Amino acid sequence: MPKMTIDAISVTSSDMARSVKFYTLLGFEFPKFEPNEDHIEPITKDGDVRLMIDEAKFMKSMTGVSPKPPTHSSFAMKCETAAEVDNCITSVKAAGFTVIKEPWDAFWGQRYAIAADPDGYKVDIFAWI
């Protein structure tokens, strides 16, 4: 069997512009976004895992069911320093997004926090201490 690799992670959005704003605060860079787009991906380098954001109604039209955000973190964003974790969470909170878990020094050796995107997808934000 051929070896498979993760190529992309997908989330759905009920407000694409707001989702783009949230993920921009996490360091993603997007091409020009048009309000009527049903799908957008940040700019990545070859070999990077892609983040795909799909409009919720579009996904329902493809799958026949309304998407429901998960109740656990679906992916994690690694920062270089603990200060970057703190700064990221400060920016997320200042922009009006939800912080699930404020930054803390976790017993497993990371500065760790959790934020939620506009649809409730939880994103771990961490740095090794």
- Residue by residue, pLDDT tens for the chain (129 residues) are 777 678 899 999 999 999 999 999 999 999 998 888 999 999 999 989 999 999 999 999 988 999 888 766 578 899 999 999 999 999 999 999 999 999 999 999 999 999 999 999 989 999 999
With CA atoms as reference, report the closest residue to 25 among 72, 93, 83, 78. Answer: 93
Domain 8-63: give its CATH superfamily: 2,3-Dihydroxybiphenyl 1,2-Dioxygenase, domain 1 (3.10.180.10)
Which pairs from 63-72 meet CB under 8 Å and 24+ separation? 67/12, 69/11, 69/12, 69/119, 69/120, 69/121, 70/121, 70/122, 72/122
Distances (CA, A) of 49 to 1, 9, 14, 60, 72: 22, 7, 23, 24, 20
The topology (CATH level 3) of 73-128 is 2,3-Dihydroxybiphenyl 1,2-Dioxygenase; domain 1 (3.10.180)
Over the range 82-100, which residues count as b (16 or more CB within 10 Å of their CB) and which as e? bebbbebbeebeeeebeee
Looking up tokens 């959005």 gives 13
Q: Please report the pLDDT score of residue 35 as a whole number.
A: 83
Q: Please report the pLDDT score of residue 6 as a whole number.
A: 80
Query: Do the domains at 8-63 and 73-128 have one common CATH topology?
Result: yes
The domain ranges of the chain are 8-63, 73-128
